[in-house]
Amino acid sequence: AQTVTQSQPEMSVQEAETVTLSCTYDTSESNYYLFWYKQPPSRQMILVIRQEAYKQQNATENRFSVNFQKAAKSFSLKISDSQLGDTAMYFCAFMTLTGNQFYFGTGTSLTVIP
Amino acid sequence: KAGVTQTPRYLIKTRGQQVTLSCSPISGHRSVSWYQQTPGQGLQFLFEYFSETQRNKGNFPGRFSGRQFSNSRSEMNVSTLELGDSALYLCASSLVQGFDEQYFGPGTRLTVT
């Protein structure tokens, strides 16, 4: 069975600083997708970034980038130049290609401090 | 283009009752997935519908069921409600089958008393 672990329940960062959220996963599959989702308070969940396991290059979306270490089964999210609007719950997620299952981590609550 | 809509947004039910939640996907999207979000269990996948057929199913009891209509709108039904069913139920739509590029709705907050 696949598992997704986010070991940091809560984090905070000063505005304009950089923060890294951790995620590890466990799978025996070789091909899969990884995602980071953001759920702002009382707002809808949105996709932040995705990474295909077969790609060695780390995905980047503006201020958001990932550090994907396939051998270590690690998928961390780096947020640069943090903004107040980045305050949200962040979920790491894993998708299998064979079983068509989707697994979320327990989330990290990030607070950006002005 | 309108986003994913879910109705109702809030619902209060009593143990033993049943409930039906509705999800309208983004126009053109044919896949709808449902998730349960609770403080204790986090986000858990319930099931996915594509072209009116259930394609994938998570590990939930048979009290949880769903269906999808020809216009891709989906309903989720929970029968014989238990206190532990209190949760935020999220649906997400995507263009094709599978979970890639999912767009989430605002959720339905179900409280079981």
| Residue A76: CA count within 13 A, CB half-sphere | 13
Q: What is the mean pLDDT of chain B?
A: 93
pLDDT band at A80, cuts 50/70/90?
Answer: very high
pLDDT value of position A28: 87
pLDDT at B98 over 90: no
| Residue B1: CA count within 13 A, CB half-sphere | 9
B109 at the A interface (CB within 8 A)? no
Reduced to 3 states, what is the DSSP secondary structure of residue A3? strand
Reduced to 3 states, what is the DSSP secondary structure of residue A86? helix
pLDDT at B97 over 80: no
Among A43, A46, A104, the residue with its CB nearest the CB of B42 is A104
Quick: pLDDT tens for B43-67: 899 999 999 999 888 889 999 999 9
pLDDT value of position B1: 67
18-47 in chain B: CB under 8 A from chain A: 33, 35, 42-45
A30 at the B interface (CB within 8 A)? no
Question: What's the CA gap between A61 and A48, in Å, rounded?
Answer: 8
Tell which wins on pLDDT, A11 or A54.
A11
Question: What's the CA gap between A84 and A9, in Å, rounded?
Answer: 19
Best of B100, B101, B103, B108 to substitute, by most chain A Cβ atoms within 10 angstroms, is: B100
pLDDT at A101 over 80: no
Reduced to 3 states, what is the DSSP secondary structure of residue A90? strand
Quick: pLDDT tens for B6-48: 999 999 999 999 999 999 999 999 999 999 999 888 889 999 9
Q: What is the mean pLDDT of chain A?
A: 92
